[in-house]
Amino acid sequence: MKKTKKLRPAILLLTLTAMLAGTAPSALAATTQQVEDVKQLLEQYHLTAPSEEALNDAAIQGMVQSLQDPYTQYFTEEQWNDFTSSLELQYVGIGVVLQDDQNQVYIEDVIPDSPASKAGLQPGDAIVSVNGVAMTGKKAGDLGDILAGQEGSAVKLVVNRNGATVTANLTRSGFQYPIATSQSMGESVQYLQLTQFSTGAADKFKEELSKLEKAGMKSLIIDLRNNGGGYLNEAQGIAANFIKEGVLAHLINSKGEDMPVNITGGTEKNYSVYILTNGHSASASELLSGALRDYGVAKLIGSKTYGKGVVQQLMEVPSGGYLKVTSEQYYTPKGVQVNKKGLSPDFAVDGELQQLLAAFRQAGGTKLALTAGKGSIVLNGVRMSYADSVVRKNGTAYLDLKLAAALTGATVGYDKVTQSIVFTRNQQSIKVKSNKAGLYLINGVSYVSPSLLKTWVPSVQYSDSNGLLKVGL
């Protein structure tokens, strides 16, 4: 999206009039006066006695909807505040991410500088009660609603941490979800996640990138999965870290005019870059990904992107409210259309863990460490929400077989003839019956014990403590 200064009333009037004319049937080109007359007659005679405010709102929404554009929207003041808060990743609450796992709700992650962080809550804490009410049988969605509340209100949370009871008294307050985070995955392979192209995203990205470069960089993984976009200028600033100069994107307006977005004074890098994408990578994420690929800077790994190749301008309506208006369609530097098409990855991979593993291996990484359980999996320090990765039977931990296969670079199939599970690695296949000791089938999902996995892949190392299964390769 592009930020736009407040419109002059004359310009706004022309825009609104043009849209009104477009909503009328071809047999009746409604004038502004006709619209006003109909509104007054409805107010005076309709059975429901609609208010002027309601009819005005309906008229505006009708104009917007007539465009059949899901990205053009009108906002009231309250709606605008909600929209901008979401765009800037600003929330009110206690600052935890919840995940169901084995009939228990866990804190999967804690937002830095949030009330939960300040109170000492930790990932892996199991929710026991809220304000003295037991949460037995509740789901993560239920708890999310219960924990929500007004800024300044208090909430008492009791959690179970490795068998010990911990009580936290919190006061709900505003916090910002991290825009950019980074860390090393080992072997000079660095990971940088960008959550959204919010205000200041380019500065935060560069700050994290500088930390990684100082630590030593052989390859960089940029995670744009689930990043729905944001401000165009932030994408422009981020791209300048990798492109010295050139066209970032071609913006084509309603007249067919090309208004290219340029990069000048940028830099180039001497390390390889891999971008993780999925079906929720949209808008600015696609613009940045397409540009870095066109310039030969990066390869895309994951699944096809969303396909939002249009740009919106944000405008304040002089008489009240705000408009988000689609103003241009963009194409990559090489002229690739994104809108309604998306970007296909260079390496197509399904599954969140599988995508990260593929990127790590493409980046030259070989040493792997996975921690699974309590609502998450952590691969070489990168945390992901994941339910039921580990189950237990008679005190033995079992790892999701598909996760085990992905970790060890294997594939899993099923031989209908022999009714066997087929585990294939390095072009060698192992066939085992599903009832073999060390395998566990529950709810249609196959799990494998680490001890059996080690017989298939001798380099596997593992440990199990405090409800977390750790597997290394």
- Residue 73 domain flag: no
Q: Which of 131, 154, 176 is the last residue in one of the domains?
A: 176
Q: Which of 13, 36, 68 is the last residue in one of the domains?
A: 68
The answer on 347 and 393 residing in a single domain is no
Q: Is 438 helix (H, G, I), strand (E, B) or coil?
A: coil
The answer on 202 and 164 residing in a single domain is no
| Phi, then psi, of 16 in degrees rounded to 5 | -65, -40
The answer on 305 and 166 residing in a single domain is no
The answer on 235 and 348 residing in a single domain is yes
- Residue 346 domain flag: yes
Asked if residues 189 and 221 have their Cβ atoms less than 8 Å apart, the reply is: yes
Q: What is the CATH number of the domain that holds 116?
A: 2.30.42.10
- Residue 315 domain flag: no
Q: How far is CA 405 from CA 1, 411, 428, 450, in A?
A: 41, 6, 13, 12
Q: What is the CATH number of the domain that holds 212?
A: 3.90.226.10
The answer on 191 and 172 residing in a single domain is no
- Residue 321 domain flag: no
pLDDT on residue 326: 93
pLDDT on residue 197: 97
pLDDT on residue 19: 32
pLDDT on residue 42: 85
- Residue 25 domain flag: yes
pLDDT on residue 3: 52
The answer on 304 and 170 residing in a single domain is no
Q: How far apart are CA 51 and CA 29, in angstroms?
A: 25
pLDDT on residue 8: 32
The answer on 126 and 59 residing in a single domain is no
The answer on 342 and 197 residing in a single domain is yes
- Residue 406 domain flag: yes
- Residue 29 domain flag: yes
The answer for residues whose C-beta is within 8 angstroms of residue 93's C-beta and 6 or more apart is: 114, 115, 147, 148, 149, 172, 175
The answer on 206 and 289 residing in a single domain is yes
Q: Each residue of 25-37: pLDDT tens digit?
A: 344 467 888 888 8
- Residue 323 domain flag: no
Rg (CA), the chain: 27
The answer on 350 and 229 residing in a single domain is yes
The answer on 334 and 251 residing in a single domain is yes
pLDDT on residue 157: 97
Domain that holds residue 241: 180-309+329-361
Q: By C-alpha distance, which of 369, 355, 346, 371 is closest to 184?
A: 369
Q: How far is CA 114 from CA 95, 208, 399, in A?
A: 5, 20, 32
The answer on 212 and 346 residing in a single domain is yes
Q: Where are the alpha helices (DSSP H) in 368-444?
A: 401-408
The token pair at 330 is 């963009």
Distance between first and last Cα of the chain: 44
Beta strands in 2-116 (DSSP E): 2-3, 73-75, 90-93, 96-101, 104-110
Number of domains in the chain: 4
DSSP 4: -
Residue-level pLDDT, tens digit, the chain, 473 residues: 765 433 332 222 222 233 333 333 344 467 888 888 888 888 888 888 889 889 888 888 998 999 999 999 999 999 999 999 999 999 999 999 999 999 999 999 999 999 999 999 999 999 999 999 999 999 999 999 999 999 999 999 999 999 999 999 999 999 999 999 999 999 999 999 999 999 999 999 999 999 999 999 999 999 999 999 999 999 999 999 999 999 999 999 999 999 999 999 999 999 999 999 999 999 999 999 999 999 999 999 999 999 999 999 999 988 889 999 999 999 999 999 999 999 999 999 999 999 999 999 999 999 999 999 999 999 999 999 999 999 999 999 999 999 999 999 999 999 999 999 999 999 999 999 989 999 999 999 999 999 999 999 999 999 999 999 999 99
Q: Which of 119, 149, 176 is the last residue in one of the domains?
A: 176
The token pair at 328 is 């241009």
pLDDT on residue 43: 85
